[in-house]
Structure formats: structure tokens, C-alpha cells
Structure 1
């Protein structure tokens, strides 16, 4: 891949003004290591659908200041931003950062329903107002009849509607004290959509943290991490600054995230206030890592005789780089047989909003993952990212967060609702 050794995107908080260095195509090692792991290359098997070709398009945008063709734009937009190429690139290319910069440089303007959807994600008050209406619709029995009319497909909402489930309507408390000997206090990042649609995971996180002696704060003024906006060429600066300001005012031992997709974004927060962003990132931790590190020796979980297959989200494998933590945590359940899904290195197709913007590609990749799930012959599947779990779940085979499984095996005394 292209040589980025002169640029260290992770070692300093200082902002460079010269822009990213992208050498000429002749400097590419041509090792091809990025090709095999690229999910869109798996689908199309053409050079245009590889990271090394996309980086040339990004070079045109960011360095050469040239217009790109419609075909180049198509192949660039087909990228799921799984960042698998980063993990194998010998030149340590910061592909994710460069991709976001290119999207922003293109000046993308949301079209159709994308604009109100992004606003809904950003605006917590709007989400609170619409959730009761969604809950009423889901209980009304109108889903199947409406789907048959084709009206949702005509509106472009069919794919989004298909992954809907009953939202939690009650607001979360701002403080959850522990009932055992207090060891400290942490803050929980709840995200935007997950706060309503993945309440089970958040509740499980709180139960587990309380069980190991930590009080949990859930600041109500926190908002969306900004990942969807930034990956789609929109500014996430306001959301970034808001979250940094909210969490930096708290006297806590750590700021924890449950969804690996959010964690990947939070861990790369940049702000005009460099010191504040650094302080925020320093206290940030994946909840799986935190639980494993602070798990008390005397906390024994109830046994469970099941086979569990672990789906490893791209954000966990390629950005957070901590998939093994989930296996180590699940091993704390006596009797549990834990196995990885085959081809975990290949994206499931969810890709944040990708499953909605590129449903055809996403469904093909999901089909490959369904095959791996079937071959695993497991009783259940777990995933540490909300978007992946929603996209992979079916009525017959729900996909849960590992925290939900762990929380259900807590001993009854002191940890029930």
C-alpha cells in the first residue's frame, strides 16, 4: 500500500497544516495485502473495488485537487469503511481518516430523507418525540400490510423499517448507585439510537458495573458520537465538542462505551480544544476491557450449558483492536462453549448507515455471515456493536451483546432490577 511512514496520524494531537502525504502510484508496494480482506472486492472482484484504487481517488481529491469521475465516486462510495486494510497495510496507511477527509472535501449534501434522518440522530428532543409514535406503529399490526403495499419501498424507508424494534420510552436515570462495596464511579456513553433501541445492553452494562462495585452516571446532555455524520461527509464538530464538554465535567474514573462503532469514533475525537479532547480520550475505555480488568475474584457467574458464536465487529477488530476481550469475559460463565464465527475478518455489511445507503451490497455480505452462523451450529450469537447485531438478527435468531449474556448469569443477590 502507499507509504504513509512520514505521517503519524496517532502520535500527536497537533494539527498539521500541510495535509496528508499520498505518494505517487509507483511508490505502492503492490503487496496486495489489502485486497483479499476488502469486502467489496469479495463481492465484485475488480481492481476498482480495492483500497489501493480508492486511495488514488482520495489522492486526487485531497492532494491533487482534481475532479473525480462518476465511476470513481461510485467505487469510493461503495467502501464500507471497515478499515480492514489498515490492519494489514505495511505502510500503516490511515485510510479511515483520509476517507473522512475526502468525503468532507467533496461537500456532500444529504438528499431526500437523509437530511431529516441525520437531523433526527443529532437532535435528542426530536427523537424523544418520535419514539412513542414508532412504538405505537410497531404495536399496531400495520407492519406487514404496509410492507405489502410497497409504499415504504417507494419512500426509501423499507430497509430502515425492517430493522426497527420496540424502543424504550422511559428515560434513563442519571445515576445508578452500586449495592456492594463502592470501588469507584464511571460514566456511560449511551449513544443516540442505541439509547432507545438497545436499552437491554445499556441496562446489562449498568448491572455488571454495579456488581463489580462501580456507581454509574448517565449524563442526560450527552449526544450522538457523530460517526454517521462524519463518515458521510458532514461535520460532527458540534457533537464532538458537546460530548467532550459533558463528560469532562464529571468526576469519574472512566468514560465507558458499549457499542464498538461508537467507541471507534470516540477514541479518535479531535477538537479545536486539543487539551480537552486529550483529557476525554485518556479516560475513555471499552466496557469489555474495563470489566475484565476490574472483575473481582470472588464474583462467580451462574453456569450456562450453551454454545455461543462470537461475531467480531470491524470497529472492534480493526480500530479498537480488542476482540479477544469478549472471549475472556465470556469464559467467566462456567460451562459456556465460546467459538468465533468463521471469516470474522470480513465485514457483515452493516457498516453504520451502509446497510441503508447500499442495501444490495450489504445484504450480499450479510448472506456470507449467515452462512458462517449456520455452519457454527451455535445456540446463540453475540456481537459488541449495536448496528451489526440489529442487521444480523432475525426473528428466529436474535443477536445479543455479550454484556446481556453476562448480566443474565449474575447471582441473584443484589444485582436484580
Structure 2
């Protein structure tokens, strides 16, 4: 059963044994923890923009089968889905899962642009064919005149276009052998968009894994984790089943993810059969894996940089492993590491939220960038690809922790010739046997 917090004094509707349980007003602790942790309440300090009011709306949809008003729908949709409320709720409310169920229950028809995005995410071949066109567009010089024309805004593409980076056109290799004595084999989850636009993080992760003795497999049949679909009321069942089948077919010690947003979704796959259990048992965040299996004899080169750590909501509130990042970074001698002061508050990226609610997302990003500036950090790191590109959009630089770690690998560690030929990694000098 799922526990809700409801701060209103309305009587709950009739419930059956199979429905989510919603306590009545007398059972609510009235602690206000969910209110103070909500990013949209920070922007709009009204009760309608709090988790407790959204819970009331979700109750109408899932339990009472009542229609909701346009205002209730608007305030529900304003939710960033950061799940900070869930992590602080004494009643352990399953807010994320219930929010997804409510979105699916509304059965709203998506616009043409959203439908196109869903299809591209579902079909990796289509997405791959689009990448050369995007690369040509970015090189052509058409960006400035097209932006000035206002056409992108009319097509509702301006916000997505502003986040575009140079896409990788060459596919990752299927296998990357270890550069030292092999200790095991792992599979790398690359996602959908990140596979083309996060080509600094993925090779860095491979480089580190090879350096600690692990062969890395990158199965080309894998697909999107399904988060974008599920959080927007669409079915992610096909994507989930395909990923479980692809990774379960591999003889590996672990399935690793680099983006915490994808990792949060992967970790909550609801398949309860043997296949689903096997997938979840072998799933691991890259930071956790590196920290657990880091060799005692692998010493990184020193750095005097000051690094600020941004903790993505998916990492803080779902994976709950943000401390692994700090522990890993401490392996770099001389490095100064600080946490951003407002890490409990969402940066505004929220998966597709930065595209569906650009004004709200932009305000949250501005608040986060003020905090970043106040740290005077040389480098900002974030474990989530979406947060990284969103926070970097205004000229900033946010990178994944594994990028910083990979740059500090000692040049004396030999990397195999097969590895050099299969990727375009840059960084420390490499001796090829």
C-alpha cells in the first residue's frame, strides 16, 4: 500500500482494499517537511504549489475517480518530479510512483512535437539518422538567423535547440578490453540521448573501468530507460522489457549506468519475475562500482582544483548514493571538494521538465547558478547528464565526476592497442605496447 500525506481537511473518498490508502486529515503529522523541500513552492509560495495539495489532486484521480479542474491539472503538471518530498516524508509516501500513475490515468493526448520525441527515443535507428543532420546544422551557421527569425519559437523548438551540443556520429564499440590484468566484465548502459551527446562521460567511464581491470561491453541493442515516457503518462513497458532482455543475456558481473536520472528509472523497474530480479541485482551506479573495486595500487595524479559537487535529485532522493562521489573525488590528492549549499533543491532540469516548463526551470537554474558562483569553484561536477547540460547552457561548465577522475589517471598505466583503436579517448598520455 502507498501512504499519502494530505494536509487538507476534506473527508477522504470511499476506498477499496486494492486502492492506495490515503490517511484522513487527523492522521497527518502536519510537519511541513514536504513544503519546505519543494522547488516550485520556492518559486510560487502558495499552497497549490506544494506536494500536500498535489497529493489531494492525485487522490481525486486514483482513488475517488473525480474529474480535476484546469487549475488542479496545471499545478500538478508544475511538479518537477524531483521527489524531495518523498525522501523527507515521515509517512514514506511513494510520491513518484503515484505521480506517474496519475499522469497515466489522465490519458491526455500529446502534441505532435511530444509524439515525435517519443518515437525518436523509442527508435534508436531513427535517432542515429538524425544526428548527421544536427551536426550539419550546428556547423552551417544557420543557428543565429534561425533564432532571430522566431521560427523555432513558433515550432516550440527554441528551448530544445538552445541545449544542443555537438553530437557523436560514430557508434561506441561493442567491447573495450581491460588495460591491465582482467578482473571481470561489466556492461555499460548508455541511454538514448546521452549516447550521442554525453561522449565525454561515457569514454571516461570506460577508461576508468579498463584501468581498474574490467572489460566493458556496450550492447547496441539497448534502448532508452523509459523515464521520459513514464513520467509523461506514456507506457514504458516495451522499453523496460527490451532492456531487461538485452542486459540479462550478457555474461557480466554488473550493469553500470553513468546518468543518475537513467539509474533511478532502471533501479525502479517493477518487473517482479526472475528476469526483473536478475536485472536489478546486477545494476550499479558507476560511482559505487568504482569506489568498491578501486585497486589499492592505482594512485591518481594530484590536482589543486576546487570542485563543487552538484547532487542531482535522482541521486539524492532515489539512488541515495551521493556520498560515493565525494569519496571517489578524495582519491585525487590535493583536490578541494565542497558541496553546493542548496543541493536539496532541484536545479530545474527534471528530465523533460526543462523543455515542457522552460520558465519555471529557468528560474530554478538561475538560483542554482548563483549558488555555484558563490563557491568560486574551478570545476562543477554532477552525476546526471540532464542536469549537466542544463546548468551548462548559459556558458557554464558542468561535467561528470568520472571525467575529472579519468584525466588524473597516471600516464604510466599501459592501455591496450585494441582500446586505442576502438575509441577516441583523450587525456593522459598512453603507451601502446
Q: Which TM class, normalised by the smaller chain length?
A: over 0.9
- Supply the distance in 2 between the matched residues of 1:326 and 1:53 (Cα, whole angstroms): 34
> Are the aligned partners of 2:3 and 2:94 in contact in 1 as well (CA < 8 Å)?
no
Structure 2 Cα separation of the partners of residues 107 and 81 of structure 1: 18
Which residues of 2 match residues 175-254 of structure 1 at below 5 A?
175-254=175-254
Distance in 2, matches of 1:158 and 1:384, equals 26
1:101 maps to what in 2? Answer: 101
For the 8 Å contact 1:311–1:383, the answer to whether it is kept is yes
Counterpart contact for 2:163–2:393, Cα < 8 Å: no
Q: Which moved more, 1:392-401 or 1:362-371?
A: 392-401
1:140 aligns with 140
Shift of 1:274: 1.9
After superposition, the C-alpha distances for 1:155-198 in whole angstroms (9 at most, x for unaligned) are 10000000000000001111100120110000000000000000
Distance in 1 of aligned mates of 2:179 and 2:259: 26
Distance apart, 1:275 and its partner CA: 1.8
Contact 2:188–2:257 (Cα < 8 Å) also in 1? yes
For residues 185-232 of structure 1, give each alpha carbon's deviation from its aligned partner in whole angstroms, at most 9, with x where no partner exists. 000000000000001100000000000000000000000000000000
Distance in 1 (alpha carbons) for counterparts of 2:304 and 2:79? 40
CA distance in 2, matches of 1:73, 1:394: 29
Unaligned runs of 5+ in 1: 6-15
Q: Structure 1 residue 61: deviation in Å? A: 0.5
Question: Partner residue of 1:393?
Answer: 392
Partner of 2:162: 162
1:324 paired to 2:323: yes
CA shift in 2, pair 1:83/1:395, >3 Å: closer
Aligned partners of 1:229, 1:26: CA distance in 2, in Å?
36
* Superposition deviation, residue 404 in structure 1: 0.5
**Aligned ranges for residues 1-400 of structure 1 at < 5 Å?**
3=3, 18-271=18-271, 274-394=273-393, 396-400=395-399
CA distance in 1 between partners of 2:23 and 2:17 (Å) = 17
- Check conservation: 1:108, 1:234, Cα contact below 8 A: no
- The alpha carbon displacement at 1:396 in A equals 3.8
Moved more, 333-342 or 157-166: 333-342
Distance, in Å, in 1 between the alignment partners of 2:70 and 2:165 is: 37
Cα offset, 1:18, TM superposition? 1.1
Indicate the larger mover: 373-382 or 107-116: 107-116
Q: Counterpart of 2:9?
A: none
SS at match of 2:200: helix
| In 2, Cα distance between equivalents of 1:405 and 1:287 | 14
Computed over aligned residues only, the root mean square deviation of the Cα atoms, in angstroms, reads 1.5
SS in 1 for 2:85: helix
Which residue pairs with 1:11 in the alignment?
A: none
Post-superposition Cα deviations, 1:347-393, rounded to whole Å, max 9, x if no partner, equal: 00000000000000000000100100110101111100000000000
What SS is found at the alignment partner of 1:63?
A: helix
> Which segment drifts farther, 392-401 or 129-138?
392-401
The CA deviation at 1:394 is 4.0
Runs of 4+ that moved beyond 3 A: 2-5
Q: Distance in 1 between matches of 2:233 and 2:3?
A: 25
Give how far 1:4 is off.
5.4
**Any unmatched runs of 5+ in structure 2?**
6-15, 426-433
- How far the C-alpha of 1:20 sits from its partner, in A, is 1.8
Distance (Å, rounded) in 2 between the aligned partners of 1:108 and 1:266 = 25
Contact 1:380/1:397, CA 8 A, preserved across alignment: no
What do residues 233-269 of structure 1 show as CA deviations (whole Å, max 9, x unaligned)? 0000000000000000111000000000000000000
Query: Quick one: distance in 2 between partners of 1:397 and 1:102?
Result: 36
CA distance in 1, matches of 2:246, 2:189: 11
Partner of residue 12, structure 1: none
Shift of 1:283: 0.6
Q: Who is 1:409 aligned against?
A: 408
Per-residue deviation, 1:112: 2.7
**TM-score by structure 1 length?**
0.95
Does the Cα contact within 8 Å between 2:4 and 2:55 map onto a contact in 1? no
Aligned equivalents of 2:130, 2:171: Cα separation in 1? 14
Aligned to 1:310, the other structure's residue is in SS state strand
Do the aligned partners of 1:191 and 1:262 also contact (CA within 8 Å) in 2?
yes
User: 2:61·2:102 contact (CA, 8 Å) conserved in 1?
Assistant: yes
